[in-house]
Structure 1
Amino acid sequence: MENIENKVVVITGASSGLGETTARHLASKGAAVVLGARRLENLEKIAADIRAAGGKVEILQTDVTKAEEVKALVDKAVEAFGRLDVIINNAGLMAIAPMSATKVDEWNSMIDINIKGVLYGIAAALPVFEQQKSGHFINISSVAGIKVFSPGGTVYSGTKYAVRAISDGLRHEVGGSIRVTSIEPGAVESELQHGSSHEESAKGVVEFYKQAIPASSVARAIAFAIEQPAEVDINEIVLRPTVQEF
């Protein structure tokens, strides 16, 4: 539990999947977790479970496409626990479809959630980290941010490439006292696989995700990055199912 116990961690997209599993895992290691997501009922249940196990948790209904709501989540962490040590920009949408389907609304949603949501998290936490002269950004990208997910994943991959680029640039700008980690998972059990409205693509995604590994695999990778000594910055972690070729 060294370097995790008593750390204050904000997690977006915390009502299910990677966010929920990571929240439970870090809370079990003694972190104080502050959870944001749109589904308040889910957050309330997760928080009740964490408190019942003796953990420290706060929640706030949060839409990451609204900068003021992400800032409110960070403010809540500081108000409740006096500081902020880590923000995990996890909220995401994967709407797979060929470009020819011209699903512009879904393109916009992925840009708003996957890219702007991360930027809003950075904007909210960076002033706190700079004042503290410490902090840790953990941004959830994807294996699709290393290689274009094809067919149908062009825009999704574009957003995840952006997360990697933003993470790398941020590290160059604020590194020294503030750490930046990009996590790039392959197929992992989560609701992400259900984001496609294009029928043929959705079937392909479901088939692809039959090889998925548990969300706890990513939670452990995140914990590994957090628990390193302050002078060690884990810049990037790529993990995928052993059987996943892409």
Structure 2
Amino acid sequence: MTSRLQSTVALITGASSGIGRATALRLAEEGATVALVGRRKDRVEELAKTVTDQGGQALAIPADVTDADAAAATVRTIVERLGRLDIVVNAAGAMLNGDSIRARIDEWDQMVDVNVKGVMYVVKAALPHLLDAAKSADRQVADVINISSVAGRVATAGVAIYNASKFGVTAATEAWRQEFGDRNLRFSVIEPGAVDTELFGHQQGHAKEAESQRFEGVEKLHPEDIADAIAYIATSPRRRAINEIVIRPTDQNF
């Protein structure tokens, strides 16, 4: 374990798999105590054990952050148990794309709930604690790092509501950056292309076939590639704010 994030506490949503899981391991390597938030209790508890077995510190918190009260309670628990909150990584996501006529409203609602409301509820609850950390931390800064997507930059047929949710994450992150930057609270957004995670497994039927064809021949990014970018942001000195990072697979030209 290294120590660039020693004495910091990082909240990571979507920690049960994919980018969230890889991020937890990466930030723990940097010395952060990681608060692992996800809906699958067995997964976040297993990850907490992995972190501690590797010499790090972790707290597993099974929670659904699409519920505002649950998100607020999660942040409260982290601060009560760990004493502070320095870094928030919103990595939870849902992608249920496809033909808009066939699509179900509950699937659209799920994408908005996870991708937008979950981010909104966590940030709202975390803000006072992050501002406190920015004033008191040795590194003199705190961070919110939101995972958007290249779908938050470029609209595509059959991706309307996922596009809308990720455009929203990108826009909200920039607005928060402007609002809180002069208080040493940095907001950053990462917009990955195709990453080899469970997200693609959420697709069904025609949408799954279309996604498979679209990404045929593309060597997808690994979750660790995004975790490295997150670590770069979080370990940057106070003077350097990384506002936005776009990461595509080398083979992805869209």
TM band (smaller chain): over 0.9
Please list, as runs of the form range in 1=range in 2, the aligned pairs for 1:2-21 lying within 5 A after superposition: 3-21=4-22
Please list, as runs of the form range in 1=range in 2, the aligned pairs for 1:19-58 lying within 5 A after superposition: 19-58=20-59
Q: What residue in structure 2 maps to residue 219 of structure 1?
A: 227
Structure 1 unmatched runs, 5+: none
One-letter amino acid of the structure 1 residue matched with residue 45 of structure 2: E
Distance across 1 between alignment mates of 2:160 and 2:88: 27
Do 1:3 and 1:226's aligned partners in 2 also have CA atoms closer than 8 Å? Answer: no
1:22-63 residue CA offsets vs partner (Å, 9 max, x unmatched): 101111221100011000001111111111111100011110
1:199-241 residue CA offsets vs partner (Å, 9 max, x unmatched): 1111222342753111100000000000111122111010010
TM-score by length of 2: 0.92
Residues 1:130 and 1:25: Cα distance change in structure 2 (over 3 Å): closer
Aligned residue for 1:100, secondary structure, equals coil
Distance across 2 between alignment mates of 1:230 and 1:146: 27
Do 2:87 and 2:130's aligned partners in 1 also have CA atoms closer than 8 Å? Answer: no
Match of 2:162 among 156, 168, 177: 156
1:71-110 residue CA offsets vs partner (Å, 9 max, x unmatched): 2222222122211110011111000112222421111111
Q: Is 1:120–2:126 an aligned residue pair?
A: no
Task: Compute the RMSD of aligned alpha carbons.
Answer: 1.4
Please list, as runs of the form range in 1=range in 2, the aligned pairs for 1:1-246 lying within 5 A after superposition: 1=2, 3-132=4-133, 133=135, 134-148=141-155, 150-176=156-182, 177-197=184-204, 199-207=205-213, 208=215, 211-246=219-254
Do 2:4 and 2:31's aligned partners in 1 also have CA atoms closer than 8 Å? Answer: no
One-letter amino acid of the structure 2 residue matched with residue 236 of structure 1: E
Structure 2 unmatched runs, 5+: 136-140
One-letter amino acid of the structure 2 residue matched with residue 222 of structure 1: I
- Paired residue total: 244
CA shift for structure 1 position 2: 5.7
